[in-house]
Chains A and B, each alone.
Chain A
Amino acid sequence: MKTQTPLNFVIVGHVDHGKSTLIGRLLYDTNSLAPDKLAEVKKISEAHGRDTEFAFLLDHLEEERKQGITIDTTQVFFKTEKRRYVIIDAPGHVEFVKNMITGASQAEAAVLIVDAVEGVKEQTKRHSYMLSMLGLNQIIVVINKMDLVEFSQERFDKVRNDIQEFLDSINIKPNHYIPISGIKGDNIANRSGNMDWYNGLTFMQSLDELKNNPANIEKDLILPVQDVYKVDDKRINVGRIEAGKIKAGDAIKILPSNQETAIKSIEKFLENTDEALSGECIGFTTQDSVFLDRGDIICRSGAEPVVTDRFRANMFWMSRKPFSQDEKLIIRCATQEIRCKIEVIEKRINSSSLELLEENADKLENLEVGEVVIKTKKPIAIKKFSQVQELGRFVMILNENIVAGGIITELD
């Protein structure tokens, strides 16, 4: 029997709203905890003078446990009767937003947690906004700590309306809003006896409804060249197919040089294959002796990505050192890596309040989003993020570090 692909989801929300606790509860209720792990957590909770803190199952760093916060993103595995899951826990503190983004960028779905007492807070909004930037569109909202508001429907409705209003403004349509208590277990695996007014799904049922990201097989071919190896006098180009499929004999076009040739062979170690699909890392040779290099994009004539040196994007700055517009950056999109500058920062936006801070700005500060025009030094092959994510998203490098992420909104 083949193992199913697990579903990856991230839990986001403001600090202390109960992310780590909810995960601990899920692991506990699904019997995914080894007794020795549970015993260890009990022991450590006692040593920190607390009742059993499920959060310690994930918050493993000494500093995390002492301070009772999550610093970095982590992943844990569990399964229900229906399937396997990977849960990505993300820190809720403003200082660790880049860790939250690291976690969320690996997810296919997101759970947004809101404390029923505190309601919508700064990171609730910022995290939601980041989810929309990352293109996540399967979202479950859980309103947590219902035990602290006497399981009140009125309170639930109020918090639900607040968050819904914000999510509407950024075009997020959640699958469900669920009242829960992570600590007590209400509406997690089992239906709560304390909230008869709620008829919707339990949290676990809502998870079992989520879908894996579809493979990009039906889209037009995109194969970025990752490297070129010489194996026994044979030049083998390698890369991962990001969209579409390919087989020996197929006519191809190479960007940005616009050369055309055909695939001679698909190469895989110890395998005889002449066809490969989106998601596969392959080697290939070409019929004509063209010299490929990392960053070349293989596609089909007539179905090419756009090759340009200027485009519009939403860029999220995540470095403590603010960006000043005269700095040169390096853009990385798939395997392409090109020098560039930010020609215009049309808008500077607060990523939590969505407030417009400045038009035609000359800087971006940590955690701000810019609507920008990017000018690359050499042509780059791209798509809009809404068309093909793999060629529509990028990171920016400054002094060898990733300092920003972004999505392409308009091609020039």
Chain B
Amino acid sequence: MSRSLDHLDKLENQSIFIIREAYSQFRNIALLWSIGKDSTTLMWLVRKAFFGKIPFPILHIDTTYKFKEIYDFRDKYAKEWGLNLIVARNEDAVANGMGPDKSKFECCNQLKTIALKQAIAREKFKALLLGIRRDEHGIRAKERVFSPRDEDFEWDYKDQPPELWDQYKTKATEEEHLRVHPLLGWIEVDIWDYVKRENIPIPELYFAKNGKRFRSIGCECCCGPVESDADTIDKIVQELKTTQISERSGRAQDKEDDYMMQKLRSLGYM
């Protein structure tokens, strides 16, 4: 008998450990599901952690500008996996016509961050599971696994709590909530390798059609496709091994201004 854990097994186990830690400490938590490949992978891990019966809600922040494929995918699997799905919108901002044509910064802030704030206040969540990864963006590389946000949602990146030996900051004061990041140590290729191994369904947008595909999906207006013929996971993995272009290069909010991501994040953006 010489069974041993390979790289994906180790990542999977580490993530499940973190997910169970979060639930054990707070009970009142939610999974933030953007329907992208990362948060869908996280969903898969959460289903494993709880033996298919997720004991907390799944939160989808709906900007109303998402791709139609995203909405269809969400509704299909919410049903198939028996999810307790909460869809949250900043209804006032939507009614007032907020959109990326006003200002990308304001649009992200209003339709994502504020909508999330409203949902947390309403549901009184103490912790949120998020599928961010360190290799996505230099700012995210600075994150902790359990990362506190104060009542204004601010991230005090200059004074983060220590985190050692899988011991995390797992208590939040009345006003705080914690962002929990079970996928922090995964890289883009790991996600694809795992999606393939586990046969995890993900939206069709990731696969090439007519010479283009999306590497990162969100709002239709702010996501550009990349040139690609990768229409299978194997081809995507192959492409990632040779590409010189970074994952979020199609994302508007990373580009506008050098520190836009930091500013958005310090206001509570994911």
* A interface list, Cβ under 8 A from B: 2-6, 34-37, 40, 43-44, 47, 57-58, 60-63, 71-77, 86, 98-99, 101-102, 105-106, 215, 217, 226-227, 229, 231-232, 236, 238, 240, 267-270, 275, 277, 279-281, 283, 294, 318, 332, 393, 395, 397, 400-402, 405
Shortest distance in angstroms between A351's beta carbon and chain B's nearest beta carbon? 15
Within 8 Å CB of A240, what residues of B? 13, 17
Return the chain A residue nearest B141 by Cβ.
Answer: A74
A267–B51 CB distance below 8 A: yes
Q: Using A60-B142, A72-B142 as known contacts, say yes or no to A5 and B6 having CB atoms under 8 A apart.
A: yes
Return the chain A residue nearest B23 by Cβ.
Answer: A227
Within 8 Å CB of B66, what residues of A? none
Return the chain B residue nearest A41 by Cβ.
Answer: B138
A279–B5 CB distance below 8 A: yes
Main secondary structure of the interface of B (DSSP, over half): loop
Within 8 Å CB of A279, what residues of B? 5, 9-10, 13
Within 8 Å CB of A4, what residues of B? 7
A400–B173 CB distance below 8 A: yes
Candidates B17, B48, B244; contact of A226 at CB < 8 Å: B17
Shortest distance in angstroms between B253's beta carbon and chain A's nearest beta carbon? 15
Q: In the complex, given contacts A99-B160, A227-B23, what are 19 additional A-B residue pairs having Cβ atoms less than 8 angstroms apart? A: A36-B246, A58-B141, A60-B137, A61-B262, A62-B262, A75-B141, A76-B141, A77-B135, A77-B187, A102-B162, A226-B21, A231-B50, A268-B48, A269-B52, A280-B9, A400-B173, A402-B167, A405-B164, A405-B165
Shortest distance in angstroms between B1's beta carbon and chain A's nearest beta carbon? 8
Tell me the complex Cα distance, A293–B119, Å. 32
Tell me the complex Cα distance, A102–B145, Å. 11
* B interface list, Cβ under 8 A from A: 3-10, 13, 16-17, 20-21, 23-24, 47-53, 55, 134-135, 137-139, 141-142, 144, 157-158, 160-165, 167, 169, 171-173, 185, 187, 189-190, 193, 243-246, 249, 258-259, 262
Q: Using A5-B7, A72-B157, A231-B53 as known contacts, say yes or no to A281 and B16 having CB atoms under 8 A apart.
A: yes
Candidates A6, A267, A332; contact of B7 at CB < 8 Å: A6
A227–B24 CB distance below 8 A: yes
A281–B20 CB distance below 8 A: yes
- A–B complex contacts, Cβ < 8 Å, 8 sampled: A4-B7, A102-B144, A227-B20, A270-B48, A279-B13, A280-B9, A401-B169, A405-B162
Within 8 Å CB of B134, what residues of A? 74-76
A395–B164 CB distance below 8 A: yes
Within 8 Å CB of A395, what residues of B? 164-165, 167
Within 8 Å CB of B243, what residues of A? 34
A3–B167 CB distance below 8 A: no
B163–A402 CB distance below 8 A: yes
Tell me the complex Cα distance, A275–B5, Å. 13
B162–A101 CB distance below 8 A: yes
Tell me the complex Cα distance, A395–B141, Å. 24
Shortest distance in angstroms between B173's beta carbon and chain A's nearest beta carbon? 7
Candidates B47, B139, B158, B185; contact of A60 at CB < 8 Å: B139
